[in-house]
Amino acid sequence: MRDKEDERVDNSRRTWLIATTVAGGIGGVATVVPFVSSFAPSEKAKAAGAPVEVDISNLKPGDMLTVAWRGKPVWILNRTDEMLADVQKADKELADPHTDHPFSMPLPEYCNNEFRSRAEHKNILVVVAVCTHLGCTPTQRFQEGPQANLPDDWPGGFLCPCHGSTYDLDGRVFKNKPAPQNLDIPPYMFTSDHSVVIGRDEKGEA
């Protein structure tokens, strides 16, 4: 028979073994949790795809501002009445005046009109500033008439400096240019007369 001293030694060993195993398990959990959490998207990554709300209260007629959405530049242009008239002048010179062949996202239903904008704010153009040829950012050329690298009957719009593609003040590409499609119109909505959200509309987030 085993004496009491042997039993005490065995119990002591058993207690030590359990404690060591539990501590090791806790350590393992502590090691695994940060590793697993590294797969979750960072706040920066989530923000990159999140809707962007923009204050346009200081955007005067004829002015344009650029904001970032999903890592791309987006223009918000407050078009004057003259600019809207220039849009209509350009129709016959465009490759796809009705955006029947959108680029990387469908044209929102509420922008399926001659000004590619919401009817209640037809002067405000919201457009992704990425050339549909090779992804350069076009530059504004709002002035009408002859000027460098543009036709003499230029109605105003945008010129891509990389390969010469031109777009009207709706972001629609002109005929016979390297760019095959119009600039994208992202989902957007107005939360007030002076605030627009890019990346979200009545159907939810893009």
- pLDDT tens per residue across span 90-102: 999 999 999 999 9
**Residue 150, Ramachandran bin (φ over 0: left; ψ between -120 and 50: alpha; else beta):** beta
- Listed residue (67, 68, 182, 84) closest to 124, CA to CA: 84
Q: Domain containing 86: what range?
A: 46-205
Q: 36: Cβ–Cβ under 8 A, 6 or more apart, which residues?
A: none
Say yes or no: 33 and 57 in one domain. Answer: no
Higher pLDDT, 175 or 31: 175
Q: At residue 34, does pLDDT exceed 60?
A: no
SS3 (DSSP) at 115: coil
Would you please indicate which residues are annotated as catalytic (active-site) residues? Answer: 163
Say yes or no: 181 and 200 in one domain. Answer: yes
Q: How many domains does the chain have?
A: 2
Instruction: State the amino acid at position 180 in one-letter form.
Output: P
pTM passes above 0.85 = no
Residue 29 Cα to chain centre, angstroms: 38
Say yes or no: 16 and 75 in one domain. Answer: no
Say yes or no: 73 and 164 in one domain. Answer: yes
